[in-house]
Structure 1
Amino acid sequence: MHFAPDKQSLLKARRTYAFTELFMFELRMQWLNRIEKTSDEAIEVDYDIELVKTIH
């Protein structure tokens, strides 16, 4: 983040940052999906099952 001169600029910066994060996540998911579809092997994804359980 930057030092916003006013609250409106801060809110715009936060919204832009959130959009960029989500956009990059979606691009990565599409990239991984494409690799998986064109590969003979599945992609192994490491995750913490206890952390996943806390989400639901």
Structure 2
Amino acid sequence: MEMAERKIVAQNRRARRDYFIEETYEAGIALKGTEVKALREGRVNLQDGYAQIKDGEVYL
């Protein structure tokens, strides 16, 4: 996928304000039903989201 085709659908601005981000990673995520609908409607909330690395894999 070319950069022109990509669209940022959500950002955690508070995390970027409150913390120093040393590295960033890009990853896919599997969404179901209402999650897809909310994303398409622009109702995305990352405020309480976090990721944890365990055994070389990232879990949300």
User: What's the TM-score, normalizing by structure 2?
Assistant: 0.27
- Larger relative CO (CA 8 A, sep 6+): 1 or 2? 2
User: What's the TM-score, normalizing by structure 1?
Assistant: 0.28
Larger radius of gyration: 1
